[in-house]
Amino acid sequence: MSEILTFLKTIEEEARSAIEKADDKTALDNVAYSYLGRKGKLAEVSRGFGKLDPGIRPRVGSRLNELKKTLNELITQKAGALTSVLESKDVFDYTLPGKRSPVGRRHPLMQTADRMVQIFRGMGFSVATGPDIDTEFINFDALNTPEDHPARDLSDTFYIKKGILLRPHTSTVQVRTMMAQKPPVRIISPGRCYRSDAPDASHSPVFYQCEGLYVDERVTFGDLKGAIIQFARDMFGPGIKVRFRPHFFPFTEPSAEYDFSCMICGGNGCRVCKNSGWLEISGAGMVDPEVFRAVGYDPGKVTGYAFGMGVDRITMLRYRIGDIRLLYENDVRFLRQF
Amino acid sequence: MKISVNLLRELIDFEWSAERLVENLTMSGSEVEAVEQKGNDIQGILAAKVIEVAKIEGSDKLTCCTVFDGREKIDVVCGAPNVAHDQVVLFAPVDSRIPGSTLEKAKIAGKESAGMILSEAELQLSENAGEIAVLPDDIKPGTPLEKIVDYKDTILQLEITPNRPDCLSHIGIAREVQALGGGKLKMPDVKLAESDIPASGAVKIVIDNPRGCPRYTGRVIRNVKIGPSPLWLKMMVYYLDMRPINNVVDITNYVMLELGHPLHAFDFDLFKKPEVVVRNASDGEKFITLDEVERTLNSNHLLITDSVSGVAVAGIMGGELSEVSEKTSNILLESAYFDPVIIRRGSKALGLATESSRRFERGADPEMAPFANNRACKLISEIAGGENLSGVVDAYPAPLVPVEIDFKPENINSLLGTKLSANAMCDILKGLDIDTRNGDSYKAIQPSFRPDLTREVDLSEEIARIHGFENIPPVFRPGGALGAEETKLQRLTRDIESYLTGAGGTEVFSLTLVDSNLTRRLGLLESSVTVMNPLSEELAAVRPSLLLSMLPVLRRNINFKERDLFLYELGDIYLPSDQEELPLQQIRLAIGLSGYEAPVFWGEKQRKIDFFTIKGLVENLADYLKLGTINLRPEPHFAFDKSRSFVVYINDNNIGYLGSLSEECLKIADIKEEVLFAEFDMQKIESLVPDSLAAKEVDRFPSADRDIAIVIDENIGAEEIRSEIINSSVGFADDVRIFDLYHGKNIPESKKSLAFSIKYRLPDRTLTDEEVDDVHGKIADVLKMKFGAELRS
């Protein structure tokens, strides 16, 4: 037997043992590469083919092909064995994470605003919007705000120029709607508002409100209570209680502040509600006749209620958020929770 | 406003507990913000007499005192400079309690000390900390503190709304308690001893501006002795958050807290003439107020003068030169009524708000002026001695006429949703000391202490709050449409949000006020709306593009190592307008991407975000909204890299722009990652969204799928080839996709290889192989001819 055939025999033995020993896919790939690859041992023999004695060439050739075929078969067989081991019950690692496509999140403020809109829409309110930058007339005069009221001060409100300002409430939308449309009117107006408050845990110079207005014949304070109570129950659950306390606003009479029973402690008293069991939500009241006069409605014919509501405030209560700035920083680590 | 429950009980005898009082006041509009218990931690304090005072060797301050507490003599060490033989003092024996500690035997400077002689501050009865409290001589040693002064009190912190100046007083709150059924209000005693000399001969009052000062009353008291107030008075003033000064000043403050009417005491001897002239100040007139500040007045300020020079800025603060001091013996006591507007403007112009100005600018009670004057003079003569000249000198040129308010009980019921009888309403008003008349109609007479009540609707609020908001039944109305349908834009917004969120986007909601520096450096400040009085430069511009608020959000997250970002925001932007009064407001949609596309999982490679990621996202969005096909046209944009800057078109409608932020822009925004950004005009998108959709049937015949790969000049756009394939397929090509793009080996330089997969299909029949081969071949020919394409096998 020629030297070359003996060499092929040795290669075969080595290869068989290497295939046998390969205990994972990578090891097997390496074996395949080192024997059958372009720079593998068999390829090396093939490259020296031309230098062989012509008499022996056919035998070496057929032996080479035979060996390639054998090794290929062995490797395929072994690969099959390896795979079946991998997929057998014992080794299949189902704890590897699932391959998830990325999922986005809606901003918690917007989720809350949507929920609020949904609730009020169910009560027959439509959504009205208006400009963030508006006139002093729409912002204050039409809302019966005295000329020297502190809300008009430069220290409280951002002005663009004299008489034009960034609205401190979305009551502007109520005024604009009433000026454009005859009663009945039943709207909510979500939108950004602006006040010259330095940012801290409970203040943001830009914040998000959703005010409501219902004007018709015979709208009563009882209707106002009903709307707010219904909202509270829908938003925070049927167990929530609402109370109305008299207050003062230039644009409503009677005026009220309304509180929800603390949803964190169930009204028993905790840090969030300062042990009172109540959380102050916002202001409300019956639209002042002066406001009706300013927009051209006849206060002798219609009555109406209006209420404020902070979307930020509701969001913070809904998700137990302690600092309003978290809502406006847009840190994705925070936003991913919702 | 702070309310002492003890003082309140002097004005109205109510049986409620403090808790009930708090609840009732809160629910009727005087919100109790805090409740403070006074004197709870004081126990066993009594009066004692100092019998002996001996210096302690080696100490300049300490003395060893022997006191008699009514039963025994006790030695204590005392550090107060004013301790003296024979004084009656407040004494804390061993085991007694003062705020913060329980007394124990101690050894001070080598001396046994079995107790402590107290200052008022140590008992938190007042603030005089440096000296011990000295009691009147007639108090017997051994008298317990509670017999000397009623120091146990409950102090309520109330939030009084600006429409209720009457509630800035104990009498006002007592009236609320009366209205709520707590009892009957008792006005304090004002019977005072007077001399035979009439005050009208001692002072002349002239009002130059009766609109600014409708009423001015004065009383004169002679030979008062100025000194510290008695303990009860000091304590009450101190409990109610004012500083005890001296007996006369403390009395004026006490009466203000009791009756709500601000008073001012002048040292009458310092008047250059025995006259009061109330006039407007002249512009630039200088005046030194009590706080030793020289103020410059203007003609809107009301000045009290002695006809020669100013003695007080009316209703705001007295003058230094006529201030009551230890030397004072003759007093002129002012109790006036000033116009709210003049005081509010004056106080604002001076930047000076006082307890007095706070009450006048909300509206004091003109009818209370003489009463408060009498009340204070009674207390002054009782406490500081002196002789009241007889009578109040009262300048009231045009007495204010109370408003008569017509009201209809049915109107009030229909506003409130109540069924109260007219009598019930009148009873509520009576409780508030509002008289009513019932002739042809109902009338309520506005009380002088209620400037806020002028209309029927104002009465309805009074009735509602005393009746109790909680007693008005809520009404649950059925919904019913009042135009409650969504607008197209509202629906579209929801669609976009749900698409982008589903695609992996995180919604951002940012402030519309943005950094004016960033805006300027991006070259947009000139074309932005700016705030006249911003809080800071960071909040001084109103965003002209969502990019301005998106950049800081990207920076923040990237700095926190959250580099794989897909953010979107739907929000308003603002642009200055030449034609309109108000700036232009537009709703826009912004998308910002950075980092890698998706989280990496085992056995997969992560894909870095690139231009085609955002393009694909926008193409998908357009598809989802049924806008039509997106076309990009290269156009420079201030924020984008020159070669990655495009305007987005649907047909010929420019809907926005997209691109890759330039290095320059990233540097300005301090962002250390590649960012892709797009911004769209929502109104334009809205106009392109079809209002309705007609569904197509699905194809029923199988397709024949063929691939074609060509090598062409690299300047030829892929889309151009793709359209050509569709055009030359005689309607057979149903779908043409690019599945490979290759540069490099085997491809000549400045050429590229593109591979397309073509789906041939007809809606009405199956194509034969021959037909498909034929068209496929023709397409290859066209590509060869038109683009010089070379076919790859």
The pLDDT tens digits for B356-415 are 999 999 999 999 999 999 999 999 999 999 999 999 999 999 998 889 999 999 999 999
Report the distance separating Cα B24 and Cα B42, nearest Å: 29
Q: Do A159 and B415 touch (CB under 8 A)?
A: no
Please state the rounded mean pLDDT for residues A238-256.
95
Mutate which of B450, B511, B601 to disrupt the A interface (most A C-beta within 10 Å)?
Answer: B511
CB pairs under 8 A between A and B: 233
Q: Which residue of B has its CA nearest to A221?
A: B416
Q: Which residue of B has its CA nearest to A154?
A: B533
Q: A120 near A231, Cβ under 8 Å?
A: yes
Percent of chain B with pLDDT over 70: 99
* pLDDT score for B482: 64
A184 touches chain B (CB under 8 A): yes
| Distance (Å, whole) CA A134 – CA A141 | 12
Q: How far apart are CA B49 and CA B70, in angstroms?
A: 8
* Among the partner residues B477, B534, B598, nearest to A223 by beta-carbon distance: B477
Of A220, A230, A246, the CB nearest to B415: A220
Q: What pLDDT was estimated at residue B441?
A: 87
For residue A96, what pLDDT is reported? Answer: 84
Is A223 in contact with B475 (Cβ distance < 8 A)? yes
A72, two tokens: 């290929």
In this prediction the ipTM stands at 0.87
CB atoms B602 and A161 under 8 Å = no
Q: Do A102 and B566 touch (CB under 8 A)?
A: yes
SS3 B178: helix
The label of the residue with tokens 């008349």 reads B437
Specify burial of residue B786 (Cβ count, 10 A radius: 0-12, 13-18, 19+).
middle
| Residue of chain B minimizing CA distance to A195 | B535
Average pLDDT, rounded, for chain B: 93
pLDDT above 70: residue A86: no
In this prediction, residue B58 carries a pLDDT of: 80
Note whether B476 contacts A205, CB cutoff 8 Å. Answer: no
Answer whether residue A201 shows pLDDT above 70.
yes
Q: Are B179 and B432 in contact (CB under 8 A)?
A: yes
Determine, for residues B479 and A102 on separate chains, whether the beta-carbon distance falls below 8 Å. no
Confidence of residue A36 (pLDDT cuts 50, 70, 90): confident
Mean pLDDT within B211-226: 96
Question: Which position has the higher pLDDT, A33 or A259?
Answer: A259
Using a pLDDT cut of 90, give the percent of chain A over it. Answer: 60
Estimate to the nearest angstrom the gap between the alpha carbon of A177 and the chain centroid: 31
Quick check: helix, strand or coil at residue B166? helix
Q: Is the pLDDT of residue B261 over 80?
A: yes
Helix (H) or strand (E) holding A235: helix A221-236
Residue-wise pLDDT tens digits, B64-120: 999 999 899 999 998 888 988 899 999 999 999 999 899 998 888 888 888 999 999
Residue type, A162: K
Q: How far is CA A251 from CA A189, A285, B450, in A?
A: 16, 8, 19
Domain boundaries, chain A: 2-88, 108-337
Report how far residue B62's alpha carbon sits from residue B649's, in angstroms, rounded to the nearest whole number. 92
Q: Is A147 on the interface with B (CB under 8 A)?
A: no
pLDDT computed for residue A119 by the predictor: 94
Q: Does A234 touch chain B (CB under 8 A)?
A: no
pLDDT for res A291: 95
Give tens-digit pLDDT for B416-461: 999 999 999 999 999 999 999 988 889 999 999 999 999 999 999 9
Among left, alpha and beta (phi > 0; psi -120 to 50; other), residue A265 is alpha
B402-427 pLDDT, tens digit per residue, is 899 999 999 999 999 999 999 999 99
Question: β-strands A206-216, A185-194: how paired?
Answer: antiparallel
**Chain A, nearest residue to B35 by Cα:** A276
Number of H helices, E strands in chain B: 20, 43
- The C-alpha of B217 sits at a distance from chain A's nearest C-alpha, in angstroms, of 28
Interface contact flag, A110 B572, Cβ < 8 Å: no
Instruction: Give the nearest partner residue to A154 out of B487, B533, B568, using CB atoms.
Output: B533
Residues in chain A: 338
- Written as one string, the DSSP assignment of A274-313 is TTSSEEEEEEEEEEPHHHHHHHT--TTT-EEEEE--BHHH
Q: How confident is the model at residue A24 (pLDDT cuts 50, 70, 90)?
A: confident
Nearest CA in chain A to B500: A104
pLDDT tens column, B631-642: 999 999 999 999
Instruction: Give the global pTM.
Output: 0.84
Minimum-distance CB partner of A254 among B344, B460, B473? B460
- Kindly list the distances between the CA atom of residue B749 and the CA atoms of B643, B713, B714, B719, B744, in Å, as whole numbers in the listed order: 21, 9, 9, 21, 7
Instruction: Say yes or no: A103 contacts chain B, CB-CB below 8 A.
Output: yes
Which positions 209-228 of A are in contact with B (Cβ < 8 Å)? 218, 220-223, 225-227
A145 in contact with B, Cβ within 8 Å: no
Q: Which chain B residues contact residue A154 at CB under 8 A?
A: 532-533
Question: What's the CATH code, domain A108-337?
Answer: 3.30.930.10
Residue in chain A lying closest to B464 (CA):
A254
